[in-house]
Amino acid sequence: MSRVRTACFELASIAGVAAACALPAYAQYPGHVDEAKQQNGTHLRATAILEYTGDLGKIKESRLVPIVIWDGMQYQPGGLYLAQPAPLAVLSGTQYELETAGKPKGFFNIKDSEDLAGLWIGVGSFEAPPAPKPRASPAKSGHTYEVRDVDPDKPHFAHRPADEQNQAGPAGTEASSGGAGSGAGTGAQNAPPVDPDRPTLHPRPSGSDSGSSGAGSGPSSSSQPDTDTDRPTFHRRSNASGEVASAQPAIDPDRPHLGYTAPVDQSKLDKPTALFGLPPDMNQMAGISDDRAGDTESLVFTWSNPDDENKMKTALETIAQQAIVPPATAAATTTKTASAAHRRAHAPGAPAPPALADEDFRCYSLSFGGGATMVLTAHSTGTPMKYVTIVAQPDFYGQPKVLLKQVTSDNALDIAPRYRLVDAVDTEGNGRADLIFELRGQTYRQFAIYRIAGGTATQVFETQPTAN
């Protein structure tokens, strides 16, 4: 036998032994399987921004702007993903959970979608969060319970504690005095609980065969096209009867038609009030639509010492003031030929730092147990107005380390837009939040997602610019 044939024979033997060893592992029962944790199908997580006027409980005008969809591998544009013609993120019946720094504030249910010059928005209504259920107080039975000292280290056989036997009632007493029947009852009580997810064999019921439906059944005469059951959907809200709201495209009430009678569907269509433009009293709130419910944690960073928070805010204000302060004029500089005494006597006083208006200082903990991530946005009071945005983290010595600094003015908004912080949102559902900014220019705006990791701020997604 040649060496090649001998090597092939040895490899085949090893592969056969490995396959034989692997078979029993696949044949074993794996135990309880949590179906919620199985990654079956396409898991989508949509992030949108709710823009509204008025209070959240009494919204006057509102619109939901889709930002991004995480498909498990990469970001997809929320305003274009699976558009037929409306994108999947704003289909009728989709429900978004509104959040503020990770804490739920209610729901927004989409009833209709509209295309505003290439920007798809969702219009709907706000739904308050459900009230927490009160804890049921334990019923008072009137019995007096005796507390007994039990030594957990005392050796004993497996038995039913005496307290449980006394509380078993007449049925347990009768079973214990039933002779042979007591053994069966004790064995059933001591048996481990049955796993409801353990696979079992069931006989095929009679009459379930497709051919047993009778000769008169025949094929269906319906000519409707088959529905794609594999198309992914977001969290859908059911109505009072338990049926999911229809995902049919919106009906345009201004669409021309023949005849003078308005169709019934258009006359009964509920058109919520949509928000247009950028009013000065507009509020913004992030929303998440995910069919897999998860625990939400607050993203607000809690300082161990309130003085540290004030110290960091003052330090960021100084950095912002230095970023927008006008350059020193030539008159303020001294000549080299002047004497030191003359320079000290005629030295101009330090200019007062510029005042900041509309300050917004927030501190986040973007991951569980993570440090502080501070964001300060403000603008000056002079003309032209200057806007500044600072993102920083404390360093080893307790000083703010600037990760992102954006400065612009009214004269340069089309070149360098103004960064307005929306909120910190977990866009991927992995327990790590990112910062969402609105980049507002003079005639356009867009949204951007920044990831804070490794001491740097990196832009990971940006929407297409749209007209204001």
Compare 287 and 295 and report the one with higher pLDDT: 287
Q: What percent of the chain has pLDDT over 90?
A: 46
Confidence of residue 452 (pLDDT cuts 50, 70, 90): very high
Same domain for 386 and 290, yes or no, is no
Task: Report the b/e string of 200-217 with b at 16+ CB within 10 A.
Answer: eeeeeeeeeeeeeeeeee
Model pLDDT, residue 292: 81
- Token pair 């990971």 is found at 460
Contact criterion met (CB below 8 Å) for 125 and 145: no
Average pLDDT of the residues in 245-253: 52
Q: 298-357: per-residue pLDDT in tens?
A: 999 999 998 999 999 999 999 999 999 865 543 444 445 456 666 665 555 567 788 999
Average pLDDT of the residues of the chain: 75
Is residue 94's pLDDT more than 70?
Answer: yes
Average pLDDT of the residues in 43-70: 95
Report if residue 251 sits inside a domain: yes
Same domain for 359 and 261, yes or no, is no
Report if residue 342 sits inside a domain: no
Q: 17-34: per-residue pLDDT in tens?
A: 444 444 333 333 333 434
Report if residue 99 sits inside a domain: yes
Report if residue 223 sits inside a domain: no
Report if residue 222 sits inside a domain: no
Is residue 271's pLDDT more than 90?
Answer: no
Q: How far apart are CA 331 and CA 376, in angstroms?
A: 33
Model pLDDT, residue 348: 59
HSE at residue 408, side-chain half, CA atoms within 13 A, is 18
Model pLDDT, residue 49: 98
Its domain, for residue 402, covers 306-325+353-467
Compare 44 and 134 and report the one with higher pLDDT: 44
Contact criterion met (CB below 8 Å) for 317 and 356: yes
Same domain for 389 and 247, yes or no, is no
Contacts of residue 82, defined as CB under 8 A and 6 or more positions apart, other chains included, come to 88, 231, 232
CATH number at residue 421: 2.40.128
Same domain for 378 and 258, yes or no, is no
Report if residue 408 sits inside a domain: yes
Centroid of chain to Cα 219: 45
Model pLDDT, residue 291: 80
Report if residue 87 sits inside a domain: yes
Is residue 274's pLDDT more than 70?
Answer: yes
Same domain for 259 and 291, yes or no, is yes
Report if residue 110 sits inside a domain: yes
Most confidently predicted of 256-260, 368-372, 375-379: 375-379
Model pLDDT, residue 412: 94
Same domain for 272 and 316, yes or no, is no
Same domain for 320 and 431, yes or no, is yes
Same domain for 276 and 413, yes or no, is no
Same domain for 313 and 461, yes or no, is yes
What secondary structure letter does DSSP report for 274?
B
Contacts of residue 391, defined as CB under 8 A and 6 or more positions apart, other chains included, come to 373, 374, 375, 402, 403, 404, 405, 435, 450, 452, 457
Most confidently predicted of 4-13, 270-279, 391-400: 391-400
Same domain for 311 and 290, yes or no, is no
Model pLDDT, residue 142: 57
Instruction: Point out the least confidently predicted range of 20-29, 65-74, 275-284.
Output: 20-29
Same domain for 237 and 319, yes or no, is no
Based on the structure, what is the number of domains in the chain?
A: 2
Same domain for 82 and 123, yes or no, is yes
